[in-house]
Structure 1
Amino acid sequence: MRKQDKIYVAGHRGMVGSALVRSLLNKGYQNIITRTSSELDLRNQAAVTDFFAEERPDYVFLAAAKVGGIWANNVYRAEFLYDNLLIEANLIHSAYQNKVEKLLFLGSSCIYPKMAPQPLKEEYLLSGYLEATNEPYAIAKIAGIKLCEAYRSQYGCNFISAMPTNLYGPNDNYDLQGSHVLPALIRKFHEAKTSHQPFVEIWGTGSPRREFLHADDLADACVFLMETYNDEPFVNIGTGEDVTIRELAELIRETVGFEGELRWNTEKPDGTPRKLMDVSRLHNMGWKHQIELKNGIAATYKDFLSNQEVYV
């Protein structure tokens, strides 16, 4: 990418998209175009077609998606499949039609089979059954990967894909019904602390292991890939390190300063037993995360405190 190139960040107000904008600006890219969902409905093919024809971006970061945690994925199954299929199909096709120089599609670690060997290597895609609770979202993301591969194969498009692990950071979703585990725990512990509750209830057994990557590290990796990577195989983005949900909860409790007890609701689902990314391909390219989990959680809680009126 050249500093003067026109770069479209789809989903710029979300956690990932806003991190991408920050990273690009910090690296000297100033010609960034964005649209809010009220300005451009990415599910509307005609609207997306008109937008690309008018703006003609050189590069596209496809970070727009309908996202959520276990509860939201399992309840809004049709929306997670339908909305995400439309968003990625419209953007990828319009990028092809308007000769976008390069596009990066962001997927998710949930694309991997539930019982895939650990750590998760890129070649494990489609090697087994998906986790049932988020299968529609995973199928949509797999379709996005395959669209990029197909447009590359048939039309020669330089479309690449990256699969981030579990993310957290500024502009996260803290809704207790629809959020992922880390932001949900930050809000739960904070509200329990301020209201002097004696305990916090957490879903599952606490035994599943998860990997967490700060959104600013993800954004840095995405810009790195956009600048240097031009091959078909998608690339995992993560830390290569994981913790149990119980360890995560204890770390967040300590950060927030909640002194009550943890109660595990074992009637609720755990989800996939373990999700750890094999990031050797990315490490071999020369990129590695910089923000360690403890420091990242502390910074994220500070951001949460500063923006409660927005997040809650």
Structure 2
Amino acid sequence: MTKDSKIFIAGHRGLVGSAIVRKLQAAGYTHLITRTRNELDLRNQAAVERFFAETQPTYVFLAAARVGGILANSTYPADFIRDNLQIQTNVIDAAYRFGVKKLLFLGSSCIYPKHAPQPMKEEYLLTGALEPTNEWYAVAKIAGLKLCQAYRRQYGFNAICLMPTNLYGPGDNFDLETSHVLPALIRKFHEAKTQGAKQVVVWGTGTPRREFLHVDDLADACLFLMQHYNDEDIINVGTGKDISIRELAELIAEITGFSGEIVFDTSKPDGTPRKLLDVSRLWAMGWRPKIGLREGIEETYHWYVTHYAEKAMHV
């Protein structure tokens, strides 16, 4: 991939896609191709084929997907499985047929069995039942990575598959109805501090452990693997470290300046006790994350205050 290669970033406005665009621009890549959802509906096969015929990209980062938390997954199961199957099938097939040299597909750590041994190795895929709350999304993502592997085996198409852990960073979703735990806690603690609240209620017992990767580190790993990896085996991308939800809440309280009490609502669900990826395959290739958790949360909090909290005040 050269600095003037034609590179299509699908989903460039999302958390991951926007980070990939930032990374490529910073690294000096000059011919980036992007389309908004209004300009190109990736669920529309004919539209995707027209786009590839007209633009003829050489490399593709497939970061487009319908995503959401437990509530969204359980409320719209048909949308989650249908939209993701359509998006990835259309893009992967068109990329192969219009001569793309290499495609990078982004999965998710939720593809692994609910009760997989920890940390989760790549080979644990399809060895057990999925987490029921997001199986529609997980099944679509598994189909996507299997599609990449099938096109490689049958046609020799160079498609690689990354499985990132929980992500966070600038551009995250801070909507309490649909966001994931880290951005939700940033918002809760910030609002509690600004409103002078005495306590913040956190769902569950605080004992589950989760791994968090800054989205700019994921983008760095995407570029690294696009340049150095060409096999069909999936690759986990994470930090190799996890933290309890209690420790995370205490860290975010400290960063946001909230000095009140943290209360755990044990009537609410904990979810899976632990979700940690085994990252030894990627680390053996020489890649490491660069952004520590405290540093990353501080940066994300600053982004939230300047881009999100200020807007919310003026609505």
Same fold (TM over 0.5): yes
1:118 matched residue in structure 2? 118
Matches within 5 A, 1:234-245: 234-245=234-245
Conservation of the 8 A alpha-carbon contact between 1:133 and 1:271: no
1:187 matched residue in structure 2? 187
CA distance, structure 2, for counterparts of residue 103 and residue 218 of structure 1:
16
2:25 matched residue in structure 1? 25
1:75 deviation in Å?
Answer: 2.2
Further displaced range: 93-102 or 258-267: 258-267
Show CA shifts across 1:110-144 (max 9, x none).
00001100001000000001111111111111111
Show CA shifts across 1:224-258 (max 9, x none).
00011000101000000000111111111111011
Secondary structure of 1:307's match? helix
Matches within 5 A, 1:1-312: 1-308=1-308, 312=312
1:269 deviation in Å?
Answer: 2.0
Secondary structure of 2:184's match? helix
Conservation of the 8 A alpha-carbon contact between 1:116 and 1:124: yes
1:311 deviation in Å?
Answer: 7.2
The runs of 4+ residues in structure 1 deviating greater than 6 Å are none
1:106 deviation in Å?
Answer: 0.3
Identity %: 66
Instruction: Give the TM-score of the pair, scaled to structure 1.
Output: 0.98
1:67 deviation in Å?
Answer: 1.2
The one-letter code matched in structure 2 to 1:13 is R
The one-letter code matched in structure 2 to 1:181 is V
1:208 deviation in Å?
Answer: 1.0
1:300 deviation in Å?
Answer: 0.5
CA distance, structure 1, for counterparts of residue 30 and residue 265 of structure 2:
48
CA distance, structure 1, for counterparts of residue 88 and residue 226 of structure 2:
18
Any unmatched runs of 5+ in structure 2?
none
Conservation of the 8 A alpha-carbon contact between 1:174 and 1:311: no
CA distance, structure 2, for counterparts of residue 204 and residue 82 of structure 1:
31
1:309 deviation in Å?
Answer: 5.9
Any unmatched runs of 5+ in structure 1?
none
1:16 deviation in Å?
Answer: 0.5
Instruction: Give the TM-score of the pair, scaled to structure 2.
Output: 0.97
The one-letter code matched in structure 2 to 1:156 is G
The one-letter code matched in structure 2 to 1:237 is V
* Aligned CA-pair RMSD: 1.2
CA distance, structure 2, for counterparts of residue 262 and residue 72 of structure 1:
26
CA distance, structure 1, for counterparts of residue 126 and residue 79 of structure 2:
22
Further displaced range: 93-102 or 64-73: 64-73
Further displaced range: 265-274 or 154-163: 265-274
1:76 deviation in Å?
Answer: 2.1
